[in-house]
Amino acid sequence: MPTTSASMAWLARPDGSVVIGRGPFVSAPAAPDSTTAFFVQDFALTDPSPWKIPSSAEIIDHPAFLARHAGVRPPRCEWSVPDATPFSCVFQEIMVAIQSGLFEKTVPVVTEAGTASDHPGPGFVAAMARQPAPLLSYGFVGRNDGFAGATPELLISLHHRHLKTMALAGTARRDDREVFAVDEKEIREHEYVAQTLVSKLTDLGSLSRRPRSILDLDSIVHFLTNIEVDLDGSLCSEALLKRLHPTPALGPLPRTAETLDMLLEWRRRLHCPPEFGAPFGVSCDGRFDAVVAIRGIWWQDRQLILPAGCGIIEASRLVNEWRELRLKRDSVKRFLDLPSQSPQSV
């Protein structure tokens, strides 16, 4: 996690606004009642003080955020092709666990290492700021380290007693959209996530589950199910996070202490950054929004890590999952491509 002495955090929210905080940040175990605070956690939710309170904060719209970073170019990046052997070993262990009845689904993570030609912070912030809705950019950037991304996955949007979330699982190339729409394996993987979310929320109030649709993200597509709940009573944001995270989109199904520990060990062996797939949120202006921190890049000085996860179920095949992992990593690399327009017209 970035140092908090000279840092910046931001989150683009679903309503088109962007909340920006600047350091130094103060860590706290709970969100303050009337001050902006960012929720920056690891995947296992082990940080006892995950709330990061900035020295200053502001809310601007996305065009203004974009304008601040116009003309800033990302550095050139050289990437190393990941070795498939460690993932293959983990994949086989997962399949044995599934066949033994321990799992229905779990989500290992593979990382690709890279090197930037220059300090990547400003350029990566600008690259993520350029990503349009429905992607939501986020990041926590220090002087020499940080992470930044543009995620399609909203975990929580809570305003008063109205909650919005989504199931986002199942992935394919955009060119394969027609066959993806009827792919039983991808539909089954998605339904694991959607049904689990519904089961975890149905006792909280009046729930509405939208029909499954396809979210088109230019180079790739996902299955999407939007879910909304009118809560019967008030519920704090952290209690909701612990109830929902990790969803089967990033975590194990069933989620038990044993299956979560196994997933954490696989993530460690595959060198996954601790914040990848974790909730990243902000409490501000009477509402709380949190995204799932995927589709991002982590860095220390000029050394880069690009993680991606894949959902494995009994019907999964090693070569297909390896291909999906590359598809997701390539989609993040495209964030670093400069648009064809001049910076002034972006």
Taking only the tens place, the pLDDT of each residue in 227-276 is 999 999 988 899 999 999 999 999 999 999 999 999 999 999 999 999 99
> What letter represents residue 111's amino acid?
T
Between helices 237-244 and 184-201, what is the axis angle to 10°? 140
pLDDT in the model for residue 340 = 47
The mean per-residue pLDDT over the stretch 125-135 comes to 96
Mean pLDDT of 96-107: 97
- Reduce the secondary structure of the chain to three states and give it as a string: CCCCCCCEEEEECCCCEEEEEECCCEEECCCCCCCCEEEECCCCCCCCCCEEECCEEEEEEHHHHHHHCCCCCCCCEEECCCCHHHHHHHHHHHHHHHHCCCCCEECCEEEEEEEECCCCHHHHHHHHHCCCCCCEEEEEECCCEEEEEEECCEEEEEECCEEEEEEEEEEEEHHHHHHHCCCHHHHHHHHHHHHHHHHHHHHHEEEEECCCEEEEECCEEEEEEEEEEEECCCCCHHHHHHHHCCCCCCCCECCCHHHHHHHHHHHHHCCCCCCCCCEEEEEECCEEEEEECCCEEEEECCEEEEEEECCECCCCCHHHHHHHHHHHHHHHHHHCCCCCCCHHHC
Q: Which of 29-38, 261-270, 292-301 has the lowest mean pLDDT?
A: 29-38
Percent of the chain beyond pLDDT 70? Answer: 96
34 versus 223: the higher-pLDDT residue is 223
pLDDT of residue 3: 53
pLDDT value of position 346: 27
Q: Which fold has domain 8-70+80-339?
A: Anthranilate synthase (3.60.120)
Is it the case that residue 343 has pLDDT exceeding 90? no
Q: What is the mean pLDDT of residues 211-220?
A: 94
Average pLDDT, rounded, for the chain: 94
pLDDT in tens, 60-101: 999 999 999 998 999 999 999 999 999 999 999 999 999 999
Predicted confidence at residue 235, as pLDDT, reads 86
With bands split at pLDDT 50, 70 and 90, how would you rate the model's confidence at 342?
A: very low
pTM: predicted TM-score of the whole model, two decimal places: 0.94
Q: How far apart are CA 165 and CA 24, in angstroms?
A: 31
In this predicted structure, what is the pLDDT of residue 6? 65
Give the start-to-end residue ranges of the domains of the chain: 8-70+80-339
Mean of pLDDT values over 155-167: 96
Give the pLDDT confidence score for residue 255 in this predicted structure: 95
Q: Give me the mean pLDDT over the 120-132 stretch.
A: 96
Query: In terms of pLDDT, which residue wins out, 292 or 71?
Result: 292
pLDDT at 171: 95
